[in-house]
């Protein structure tokens, strides 16, 4: 696989006059003369700078501040760029010890932690559960790395913080957090990838930021024939019915009301058309799978020196169609999810921290003759105590 990426950030206004160039040259000459006149024995005074690193770059306060004793493994930003044209399934299977169960080429790929099933391993997008309501699991082969600014793996169960069903672990994916600047800036990126078996990928991103507003739009499209050759019954056979075609687009808008309040809205749409090749015991295959998904998210944050309040609401629509004309099989699963969560975090002191939140999760699936519904309501609270300069934590 070969990938080309180019990008940059540009100011809206850029003006350089002749007088400016002359002043820069004179300043350089004067500075150079001063360097030669200095005493080489002069040294700068030693300064110690201390600060707390934002661990793993996480935005979700539940995982960021209330997971004492729990292992969190973050994916390095360099790896995210290297796999920018690939899916999360390929990144995790090749770079982490997490077991990815794949159901054949162009098939479902699920997440498994430490012997737990896929239904016991949750996937979150900006703190929102995105498992398919019809399947009860998430297909991570449909998660493009290009849209992920942070990707972290949380090992072990944490059902109180992340909801029921989180037994083995969780995959936390987060998009770029809105960033603002006193000077209006525009950024652009373009990536092109190609490889064997007619693989082609094209990705792009455009962003805008200023004092109050932030906007970003990104897309990725890919096609592949996947017609590789393998040996079957002593004969070389070329893979048939294995084409892939799909794409995703995401748009984000952020508004900074003041230094304490931030509003954000994100829309993400993706559509994939994948043919499923024959299994080793099949002579041919006409199986086809088409997935379409729409994810909408809006949230509000109020950040102060003493704590944080937030409200987030989301809507997710998933449409999965599977067809096999040879077996006269055709299914169409349509499901919808509505999610609302309000939370409050308070710093009682340097050692004591309190979090309370209330999630509401509604799931709906349209069947041929009826509608199936599932409702989840919860009220949760977490307390954290830190002692011995961060060496002891209790939650």
Query: Does residue 318 register a pLDDT over 80?
Result: yes
Rg (CA), the chain: 25
Cα–Cα distance, 58 to 378 (Å, whole number): 23
Residues 6 or more apart whose CB falls under 8 angstroms from that of 387 comprise: 351, 393
So what's the pLDDT on residue 59?
A: 75
What is the rounded average pLDDT for all residues in the chain?
83
User: Tell me, what DSSP letter sits at residue 57?
Assistant: G
Cα–Cα distance, 12 to 8 (Å, whole number): 13
Structure tokens at 204: 């792009």
So what's the pLDDT on residue 72?
A: 85
CA 101 to each of CA 44, 115, 130, 145: distance values in angstroms, whole numbers, following the listed order: 57, 11, 18, 18
In tens, the pLDDT along 230-284 reads 888 888 888 889 999 999 999 999 999 998 999 999 999 999 999 999 887 888 8
Q: Which of 30-39, 145-154, 162-171, 215-224 has the least mean pLDDT?
A: 30-39
pLDDT (average), residues 3-22: 44
pLDDT (average), residues 346-363: 89
Residue corresponding to tokens 């024939």: 225
Residue corresponding to tokens 């209790």: 394
Cα–Cα distance, 202 to 164 (Å, whole number): 38
- What H or E segment, with its residue span, contains residue 3? strand 2-11
For 234-270, the three-class secondary structure string (H helix, E strand, C coil) is CEEEECCCCCEEEEEEEEEEEEECCCCEEEEEEEEEE
Total residues belonging to the chain: 395
Residues 6 or more apart whose CB falls under 8 angstroms from that of 28 comprise: none
Q: Which band of pLDDT confidence, cut at 50, 70 and 90, is reported for residue 178?
A: very high
Report the range out of 1-5, 69-73, 182-186 with the highest average pLDDT.
182-186
Query: Does residue 209 register a pLDDT over 60?
Result: yes
Write the DSSP string, 108-121: -EEEE-TT--GGGE
């Amino acid at each position: 696989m070969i990938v080309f990426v180019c990008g940059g950030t540009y100011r809206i206004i850029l003006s350089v006059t002749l007088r400016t160039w002359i002043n820069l040259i004179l300043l350089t000459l004067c500075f150079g003369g001063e360097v030669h006149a200095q005493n080489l024995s002069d040294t700068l005074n030693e300064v110690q700078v201390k600060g707390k690193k934002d661990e793993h770059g996480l935005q979700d306060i539940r995982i960021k501040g209330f997971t004492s004793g729990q292992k969190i493994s973050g994916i390095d930003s360099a790896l995210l760029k290297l796999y920018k044209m690939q899916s999360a399934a390929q990144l995790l299977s090749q770079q982490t010890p997490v077991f990815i169960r794949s159901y054949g080429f162009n098939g479902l790929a699920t997440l498994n932690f430490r012997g737990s099933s896929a239904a016991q391993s949750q996937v979150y997008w900006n703190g929102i559960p995105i498992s398919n309501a019809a399947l009860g699991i998430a297909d991570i082969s449909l998660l493009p790395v290009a849209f992920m600014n942070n990707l972290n793996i949380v090992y072990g169960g944490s059902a109180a913080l992340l909801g029921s069903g989180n037994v083995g672990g969780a995959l936390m994916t987060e998009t770029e957090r809105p960033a603002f600047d006193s000077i209006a800036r525009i950024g652009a990126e373009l990536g092109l990838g190609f490889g064997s078996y007619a693989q082609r990928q094209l990705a792009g991103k455009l962003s805008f930021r200023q004092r109050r507003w932030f906007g970003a739009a990104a897309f990725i499209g890919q096609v592949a024939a996947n017609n590789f050759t393998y040996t079957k019954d002593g004969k070389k056979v070329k893979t048939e019915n294995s084409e892939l075609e799909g794409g995703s687009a995401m748009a984000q808008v952020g508004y900074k009301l003041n230094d304490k309040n931030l509003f954000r809205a994100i829309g993400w749409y993706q559509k994939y058309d994948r043919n499923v090749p024959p299994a080793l015991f099949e002579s041919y295959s006409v199986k086809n799978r088409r997935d379409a998904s729409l994810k909408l998210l809006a949230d509000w944050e109020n950040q102060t020196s003493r704590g944080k309040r937030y409200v987030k609401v989301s809507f997710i629509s998933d449409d999965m169609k599977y067809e096999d004309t040879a077996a006269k099989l055709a299914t169409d699963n349509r499901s919808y999810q509505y999610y609302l969560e309000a939370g409050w975090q308070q710093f009682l002191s340097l050692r004591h921290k309190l979090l309370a939140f209330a999630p509401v999760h509604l799931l709906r699936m349209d069947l041929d003759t009826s509608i199936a519904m599932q409702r989840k309501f919860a009220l949760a609270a977490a307390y954290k105590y830190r002692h011995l300069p961060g060496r002891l934590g209790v939650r």
